[in-house]
Every structure is written in structure tokens, then in C-alpha cells.
Amino acid sequence: AQRVTQPEKLLSVFKGAPVELKCNYSYSGSPELFWYVQYSRQRLQLLLRHISRESIKGFTADLNKGETSFHLKKPFAQEEDSAMYYCALSPLVSGGYQKVTFGIGTKLQVIP
């Protein structure tokens, strides 16, 4: 079974402060990890994924297999970062349908 845990439902930070949204996972095989973001009144969209090793809008996330974590980080929060963030996991297997499991989400509130 695969599971994604986001321990914080709400995270409030001041503008300019560092941000860390926590994500832990449980999966016996090799995982692919994602962060999806939902801005107010908009659809969910992919923010970044581990396999791409990219930085989007200043956010980065490192897969730590030892701690089974994929925390999302940004050094300086901006007001436009306020949104709902979902961590997600999919088996890293080629071919066939691979179920994506989402965490419950963390609402990031950036205080001006």
C-alpha cells in the first residue's frame, strides 16, 4: 500500500520568511513524488516532481529515501504563494496505470 502524510493542515508564515511544507510517504517500491498546488478558485496544477529535479517559482523539494520524505521548501515566502499544496506519490514503474495517492493537503498562508 502507498500512503502520503502531510502533518500540517495549515502553515502560516510571514512574507520573506522561509517555508517548509512537510511530506512523508510510505511505499515499498521506488516512488515518484510530486507537489501539486491549488491557488484560490483555480484548478490543481503540478508544481514540481522529483524526477525533473527542477525549481519552480523558487520552490524545491528533495527526495530523502532514508527519512521517506519529500518536503517542499522556499527560502523567502511571497504573498502569491498562499495556496493549498498537495504532496502526491506514484509508483516509479514504466507502463500501465499507476495509481497516484494524494496527501490531505497543507494550506499555506503568507502573512504580509
Partner 1 sequence: EAQVTQNPRYLITVTGKKLTVTCSQNMNHEYMSWYRQDPGLGLRQIYYSMNVEVTDKGDVPEGYKVSRKEKRNFPLILESPSPNQTSLYFCASSLEGAPGNTIYFGEGSWLTVV
Binding site for partner 1 (CB under 8 A): 6, 9, 32, 34, 36, 42-46, 49, 51, 86, 90-100, 102-105
Residue type, 91: P
Cα dihedral across residues 67, 30, 23, 83: positive or negative? positive
Cβ-based nearer residue to partner 1, 17 or 51: 51
Distance CA 70, CA 65 (A): 9
Rounded to a whole number of angstroms, the minimum distance from the CB of residue 2 to partner 1 is: 11
**Shortest Cβ distance from residue 14 to partner 1 (Å)?**
25
Three-state DSSP state, 83: strand
Q: Which is nearer to partner 1, 28 or 112 (CB)?
A: 28
